[in-house]
Structure 1
Amino acid sequence: MNVPKEIKCVIFDMDGVIIDSEEIHKKAYYETFASIGVTVSDDLYKTLTGSSTINAFQKLVAHFNLDLDPEELVLNKRKRYVNFFENDPTLHLVKGVEELINHCHNKGLTLILASSSAMVNIDRVFNRFNLNQYFTAKISGADLPQSKPNPEIFEKAAILGNTPKENCVVIEDSDNGVKAANDAGIFVFGYRNPLAEDQSLINADFIVNNFKRLHKII
Structure 2
Amino acid sequence: MIGLPHALLLDLDGTLVRSEHIHTEGLVRFCAGRGLVLSESERLFVIGHAWQEIYAELRLEARLGTTLAEVLAGTMAAKDAMFAAGLRLPVLDGARELVALAHAAGMAVAIVSGSARPEIVQALAVLEVGELLRFYVGAEDVRHGKPSPEGYALAAERLGAAPERCLVVEDSEAGIAAGLAAGMRVLATAAANPPEGQPGHQRQHAAHRVVPGLAGLQLADLAAVMQP
Would the TM-score normalized by the shorter structure come out above 0.5? Answer: yes
What is the deviation of 1:217? 1.2
**8 Å CA contact 2:18, 2:192 repeated in 1:** no
1:144 alignment counterpart: 142
Give deviations 1:17-50, integer Å, cap 9, x for gaps. Answer: 1111122112112212322333433333333322
1:209 alignment counterpart: 212
Aligned partner of 1:69 among 53, 66, 71 = 66
What is the deviation of 1:107? 0.9
What is the deviation of 1:115? 0.7
1: distance between equivalents of 2:87 and 2:66?
32
Q: What amino acid does structure 2 have at the position aligned with 1:79?
A: A
1: distance between equivalents of 2:64 and 2:37?
16
**8 Å CA contact 2:156, 2:162 repeated in 1:** yes
Q: What amino acid does structure 1 have at the position aligned with 2:75?
A: K
**8 Å CA contact 1:23, 1:195 repeated in 2:** no
Deviates more, 1:34-43 or 1:166-175: 34-43
TM-score by length of 1: 0.87
Give deviations 1:130-177, integer Å, cap 9, x for gaps. Answer: 211110111112331111111100001111222111111100111111
1:110 alignment counterpart: 108
Q: Does 1:176 align with 2:165?
A: no
2:163 alignment counterpart: 165
**8 Å CA contact 1:52, 1:142 repeated in 2:** no
2: distance between equivalents of 1:86 and 1:19?
18
1: distance between equivalents of 2:121 and 2:205?
30
**8 Å CA contact 2:51, 2:115 repeated in 1:** yes
2:78 alignment counterpart: 80
2:226 alignment counterpart: none
Q: What amino acid does structure 1 have at the position aligned with 2:143?
A: P
Structure 1: runs of 5 or more not aligned: none
Alignment map for 1:54-65 (pairs within 5 Å): 54-61=52-59, 65=62
2: distance between equivalents of 1:67 and 1:86?
26
1:6 alignment counterpart: 4
What is the deviation of 1:86? 4.7
What fraction of aligned residue pairs are identical, expressed as a percent? 21
Q: Number of residues paired by the alignment?
A: 214
**8 Å CA contact 2:49, 2:147 repeated in 1:** yes
Q: What amino acid does structure 2 have at the position aligned with 1:151?
A: P
**8 Å CA contact 1:154, 1:181 repeated in 2:** yes
Give deviations 1:71-126, integer Å, cap 9, x for gaps. Answer: 22222112112222454353221111111111111111110110111111111222
Q: What amino acid does structure 2 have at the position aligned with 1:68?
A: G
TM-score by length of 2: 0.84
Structure 2: runs of 5 or more not aligned: 196-200, 223-228
Q: What amino acid does structure 1 have at the position aligned with 2:134?
A: T
**8 Å CA contact 1:118, 1:143 repeated in 2:** no
Q: 1:5 to 1:190 in 2, by over 3 A?
A: same
